[in-house]
Amino acid sequence: MENLYLPQIAVIKKIAQETPDVKLFTIEFKDPEKFTAYKPGQFFMLSVFGHGEAPISITSSPTQKGSIEFAVKCVGSLTAELHKMKIDDEIGLRGPYGNGFSADSLKGFDLLFVGGGIGLAPLRSLINYVLEKKADFGKITILYGARTYDDMVFKEELKAGWRKSAQVITTVDMGENLCDGNVGLVTTLLPKAKVNTKTTKAIVCGPPVMIPFVLKDLTILGFADDHIISTLERHMKCGVCKCNHCNIGPKYVCLDGPVFTCAEMKLMTREF
């Protein structure tokens, strides 16, 4: 019988400092045979031995073979330890878990990505995937808001890479935006994007305070509930629906999510 809780050993191959508190880790399994295919929107349980395990979403596209990228913000004890680690240090990985984004259900649609802060990390996996298979999708728009310009993750891609084949608009909550000048909340970008709400699917991820406002504005713009997709996060101990921590109503973020449509989220009327 397979042991659900046994992590595979993986090695940190590259570390890039994205922002003052976000690092991008490129990870390879120590035994390349253990590499399993994943979907954008899925997550791994990442172990820092001696400090525990936490769910971390995948930020690389599944088309990138052999290695996996995680963009991790230093917010707690485990992530602080991870930030202290160096190239060739070993961590543990279990997964991939979760339903992930269904790329098939997005085919033929224009796509509107709305990201806030570190919430761009899981979206980047899907963005890079659809940009590589551009013929399958319509017009691609990426809206991104960060607290300040310094807090913007994936600046290279936002400024140059993605702009080659997608419309990219960024904003910052405060200070100067050296990317494209906009200052304000990410919701102020929605009217600027000028998308056709009937032919577009919106994919949203950001801090818990941002998501409800974006969903509301998208609905006002005319998006149907099943055309709005979001990915949620919860405190999680197992990733396999045993520890019971991550439920929102009868749904479990680990197994039924983390990707939900706005129609599904509207049924989650209460936070318990």
Partner 1 sequence: MMLEVKAIDKEKIKPWLTAMLEETKVIAPEQSHGDLFYEFIDSADEAFLGPYEAPPWMSIKRFFFPQMDKILKYKRGPGGIQVEPVVSEMKRVIFGVRPCDNAALSFCDKWNTADGLNDIYYLKRREQTTIVTIACNQPGVNCFCVYADAGPFAKENFDIQLIDFGDQYLVEVGSEKGKALTEGKYQHLFKAAPSDADKKRFELLLESKGMFHTYVDQRSVTEKLKKDEVPDMLWENMAKRCQNCGGCSYVCPCCICFNVVDKEVSEDEGFRIRTWDNCTFAGYTNMAGGHNPRGEKKDRFMRRYYHKLYYEFDKFGERGCVGCGRCTTTCPGKIDMARVTRSILTRGT
Where on the chain is the footprint of partner 1 (CB under 8 A)? Answer: 1-7, 9, 30, 47, 49-54, 73, 75-79, 90, 92, 207-208, 233-235, 237-238, 240-245, 247-250, 255, 269-272
Encoded amino acid at 6, one letter? L
Counting Cα atoms < 13 Å in the Cβ hemisphere of 207 gives 12
* Closer residue to partner 1 in complex, CB, 5/222: 5
* Closer residue to partner 1 in complex, CB, 134/242: 242
Least distance from partner 1 to the Cβ atom of residue 106, Å: 26
Least distance from partner 1 to the Cβ atom of residue 87, Å: 14
Least distance from partner 1 to the Cβ atom of residue 63, Å: 28
Least distance from partner 1 to the Cβ atom of residue 204, Å: 16
Least distance from partner 1 to the Cβ atom of residue 24, Å: 18
* Closer residue to partner 1 in complex, CB, 79/200: 79
* Closer residue to partner 1 in complex, CB, 45/127: 45
* Closer residue to partner 1 in complex, CB, 165/244: 244
Torsion-angle region of 243 (φ positive above 0: left; ψ -120 to 50: alpha; else: beta): alpha
